[in-house]
Chain A
Amino acid sequence: MATLITESNHPSPDDFYERLVATHRGLSDEESALVNAKLILLLANHIGDPQVLAQAMTAARQGIGDSKSGGAV
């Protein structure tokens, strides 16, 4: 079973982070939300593995809102 990588997997973490923030430069909140959604869809398709995606969704949701409804939907 494939497992979500949670150790650092970026060759250059700071470069990635700078680029992520820069991608949103000059956008309204609404435009940013759309860019984020597209980004998630592109990356999720690249990963493909439903188990990895479910683990990522659970991890992202952890500690936010009702913890019982976190994770895959």
Chain B
Amino acid sequence: MKTYVNPVYQYTRPSELDRPGVRRPVVVVGAGPVGLAAAIDLGQRGVPVLVVDDDHTVSVGSRAICYAKRALEILDRLGCGQQVVDKGIGWNVGKVFFKGELVYRFDLLPEPGHRRPAFVNLQQYWFEQHLVERAQALPSVDLRWDNRVVGVSSGADEVEVTVATVDGEYTLACDWLIAADGSRSTVRRLLGVEWEGQVFHDRFLIADIHMTSDFPTERWFWFDPPFHPNQSTLLHRQADDVWRIDFQLGWNADPEEEKKPERILPRLRAMLGESAKFEIEWASVYTFACRRMQHFRHGRVLFAGDAAHVVSPFGARGANSGIQDADNLVWKLDLVLNRRAPDTLLDSYDFERTRAADENILNSTRATDFITPKSAVSRTFRDAVLALAKHHPFARRLVNSGRLSVPAILHDSPLNTGDRNEDFARGPGTMMPGAPAADAPVTGPAGEWLLEYIGGGFVLLAFDAAIASRDVAALAADDIPCRIVEVGGEPRAGVVALDDRQRLAARRYDARPGTVYLMRPDQHVCARWRSFDLASVRAAIARATCNR
């Protein structure tokens, strides 16, 4: 590759090879986007965390390139969102073409007043490198490269992990093991856990090319384009003038032949024109499946990301959902480790994230069925939709080139406290219990965006309501403390005051004077009321932490 050289992270001889090691609270298997996100979150909370990875570098090849708004917001909380946004390419607009003509255009973030765009495109190696650098800056995160897990034994009280290195094998004991070791998860195999799902009979070629071009920064998807008849093609811009082109090849394509430059170049020339100047950075031929484990919690082993669930790439629902897994898991694990919550709280990780995985698999399967119809009649309906889409707006809503990743709404979670007040707006896009926090521009002591003040721990977000100082102090002193953020309030001891200068926060939260929201540590709405009541807030926190 011209634009990127994979870093080589240094292996160091683990001390456990020479003397017995200490029992660890958490070991993470896999230093990919999900394992690193979990490790950083744990590290920020001061939990000692050991990460083992069987390699010594970041992703080879660009792989996951589309990072959604919600993943970026999570990275903001993890202290490396800005690096990813600065290096990446932001985009909001997608276009769909059929036989060379534009049939559908969508804008994933049609309103202003959000810190982050709908998506940032960035090669996975860059993304991982920023996360590694953030993890390395945290004293309680220990990254071990070229340390390969070869044995896992999960008991009632601890997990024993056997790790192989160039210097020999050693054993680690830990309270909890996070398996973030990818779709071919070693931990899953070692525990003998099956997963089920659907394998799709189609092959795709990824070609990353280095090219200076004035194509707009948008997602372009072609059905049956003149330059690649009867198949689909997808174009994305990445950092450093690298472009991702994804050609559908069909099930009968020979993966080894199609990887050869002499096969790739004519496809690219047909698409980009004979005079286009480009160089191939990286190419890969892949197939995919949609499947998930029945449960993501197996005793003291917690599966996250591709180790737990995989989807087709159309919709960018792989890495983005894995980062949400880590976001959902770590605050719960922290409370359990600190004995502030029973370990049944971790069952809610399984409950919430298996449902999220089902939603992602449903969307991804539907997109795949549209892109790769499985029967002649399915193909006929697909072509009929595309033919109608040019003139009839209704058909554009049926065109499915991938329903792009949106955060899971945990609407039926047992951790939610249902609305007691009937007059709150409900449904998709509202701040109902389980919804991820909407962002809004604000003026405050530490930053210009609402999300900068929410998360990490529980937060009570109060709109034009002055919470009594004795209640502020009481919530701060609880076993599981809750910070107070007042929108429209005056700064005082224990209270962060924000100015909702464009009134967008109040509008997005359907707030009236007195409305309060309880936000979870992962920035999801936990409960909301039209007026503050200390006992109700405490009961909702207890419910959200399985303490009742």
Question: Contact at A37–B381, with CB atoms within 8 Å?
Answer: yes
Per the bound structure, the CA–CA distance linking A38 and B388 in Å amounts to 7
Interface string of A32-54 (1 = CB under 8 A from B): 01100110111001000000000
Interface string of B387-410 (1 = CB under 8 A from A): 110001011001000000000000
Question: Contact at B380–A37, with CB atoms within 8 Å?
Answer: yes
Interface string of B140-158 (1 = CB under 8 A from A): 0000000000000000000
Inter-chain contacts of A37 with B (CB < 8 A): 377, 380-381, 383-384
Inter-chain contacts of A42 with B (CB < 8 A): 388, 392
Interface size on B, residues (CB 8 A): 12
Greatest chain A CB density within 10 A among B384, B388, B398 is at: B384
Given A34-B387, A38-B387, A38-B388, verify A45-B380 contact (CB < 8 Å).
no
How many whole Å from A24's CB to the nearest CB in chain B?
14
Question: Contact at A45–B394, with CB atoms within 8 Å?
Answer: yes
Per the bound structure, the CA–CA distance linking A45 and B388 in Å amounts to 12
Interface of A is mostly: helix
Per the bound structure, the CA–CA distance linking A45 and B380 in Å amounts to 17
Interface string of B355-399 (1 = CB under 8 A from A): 000000000000000000000010011011101100010110010
Q: Which of A27-73 contact B (CB under 8 A)?
A: 33-34, 37-38, 40-42, 45
Question: Contact at B384–A34, with CB atoms within 8 Å?
Answer: yes
Chain B residue with Cβ nearest A33: B380
Chain A residue with Cβ nearest B392: A42
Question: Contact at B398–A34, with CB atoms within 8 Å?
Answer: no
Q: Which of B388-435 contact A (CB under 8 A)?
A: 388, 392, 394-395, 398
Per the bound structure, the CA–CA distance linking A41 and B399 in Å amounts to 12
Interface of B is mostly: helix
Inter-chain contacts of B384 with A (CB < 8 A): 34, 37-38, 40-41
Question: Contact at B387–A33, with CB atoms within 8 Å?
Answer: no
Given A41-B388, A42-B388, verify A34-B383 contact (CB < 8 Å).
yes
Per the bound structure, the CA–CA distance linking A34 and B377 in Å amounts to 9
Chain B residue with Cβ nearest A38: B384
Chain A residue with Cβ nearest B387: A38
Inter-chain contacts of A45 with B (CB < 8 A): 392, 394-395
Inter-chain contacts of A34 with B (CB < 8 A): 380, 383-384, 387
Inter-chain contacts of B387 with A (CB < 8 A): 34, 38
Inter-chain contacts of B388 with A (CB < 8 A): 38, 41-42
Inter-chain contacts of B383 with A (CB < 8 A): 34, 37
How many whole Å from A58's CB to the nearest CB in chain B?
17
Inter-chain contacts of B395 with A (CB < 8 A): 41, 45
Inter-chain contacts of B392 with A (CB < 8 A): 42, 45
Per the bound structure, the CA–CA distance linking A65 and B434 in Å amounts to 43
Question: Contact at A33–B394, with CB atoms within 8 Å?
Answer: no
Question: Contact at A33–B385, with CB atoms within 8 Å?
Answer: no
Per the bound structure, the CA–CA distance linking A40 and B382 in Å amounts to 12
Chain B residue with Cβ nearest A35: B384
How many whole Å from A35's CB to the nearest CB in chain B?
8
How many whole Å from A50's CB to the nearest CB in chain B?
14
How many whole Å from A59's CB to the nearest CB in chain B?
18
Per the bound structure, the CA–CA distance linking A37 and B395 in Å amounts to 12
Per the bound structure, the CA–CA distance linking A42 and B381 in Å amounts to 12
Inter-chain contacts of A38 with B (CB < 8 A): 384, 387-388
How many whole Å from A48's CB to the nearest CB in chain B?
9
Inter-chain contacts of A41 with B (CB < 8 A): 381, 384-385, 388, 395, 398
How many whole Å from B476's CB to the nearest CB in chain A?
50
Inter-chain contacts of B380 with A (CB < 8 A): 33-34, 37
Residues of B within 8 A of A (CB): 377, 380-381, 383-385, 387-388, 392, 394-395, 398
16 other contacts beyond A34-B383, A37-B377, with CB at 8 A cut-off? A33-B377, A33-B380, A34-B380, A34-B387, A37-B381, A37-B384, A38-B384, A38-B388, A40-B381, A41-B384, A41-B388, A41-B395, A42-B388, A42-B392, A45-B392, A45-B395
Give me 13 A-to-B residue pairs in the complex whose CB atoms sit less than 8 angstroms apart, sorted by A's number: A33-B377, A33-B380, A34-B380, A34-B383, A34-B384, A37-B380, A37-B381, A37-B384, A41-B384, A41-B385, A41-B388, A41-B395, A45-B395
